[in-house]
Every structure is written in C-alpha cells, then in structure tokens.
Amino acid sequence: MPKLETEIPFAIESVYYQKWNAGTKEGGSGINLYIETKDTLKNLDSIYFRGQVVKLQPKPNSSLLYIGRFKSNVKTHSWSFQIQDDECVVSYLEHDKVHYFKISNILEHKPLNYPHTSSNR
C-alpha cells in the first residue's frame, strides 16, 4: 500500500474541479481538475480522483497550472487510497521514487456546458 506524505511538498495556490459537457453525444463529458501552484514544478506525475487516475498535464502557456482530465463512463481503477469525493491524491517523482500526497476540500466550479453544434448547416 502506497504511503501518503504527511505534508504537501510544495506551495499550492488553489485546487478545484469543473464538470464539462461537450454539447454532442460523441464528445462526451467529464471533469477537469486544476492544481495551481506557486512555483513551476517539473515532477508532478498523476492524479487519483473519484475512482480514476490520469496523468497531470501543465496548461499550455502557464507553468503554474496543471490539469487532470477525467472522462465520464471510464472504467474505475482500484487502488489503496481511501478518499472522499472532494479529495484527490497526487503522485510526484523525487530522486526516481514515486511519492503521494492527499489534497482535501477541493472546490467545485460552475460546470462548462459547451453549445450543441449541428453539422447540418
């Protein structure tokens, strides 16, 4: 069972998630989880949230914002972390070793509903 660090090893500005709907059936829906840091980090790896795990990606043109993109209707994973719906676990690499820490009380922002587009124009 992976061990969680007792302290977050870097300064976090904010953490929030936002549900989204593509506006078309094919486009799907999901949740984007955002981690805004106070310093540029190169060692963030993955994020565990609501039964899924995805790679964290830096937002283009922003070295302080990282995004985990979770698609709905994706098979959930089993892991050893016991976390609530408003919590996530972040993995990061340090000296070629994976470490984990938990973030609690993640805020939900207003959902993004992309407009329906018709291809019959």
Question: Over the stretch 41-96, which tens digit does the pLDDT of each residue have?
Answer: 888 999 999 989 999 999 888 889 999 999 988 777 777 788 999 999 999 998 88
Confidence of residue 120 (pLDDT cuts 50, 70, 90): very low
Quick one: pLDDT at residue 24? 78
Share of the chain above pLDDT 70, in %: 93
Cβ neighbors of 6 (< 8 A, separation 6 or more) are none
- Residue 82 structure tokens: 């016991």
pLDDT at 9 over 90: no
d(CA 105, CA 121): 45
Cβ neighbors of 58 (< 8 A, separation 6 or more) are 65, 66, 67
Q: What integer is the mean pLDDT of 88-114?
A: 92
Strand partners, 25: none
Cβ neighbors of 60 (< 8 A, separation 6 or more) are none
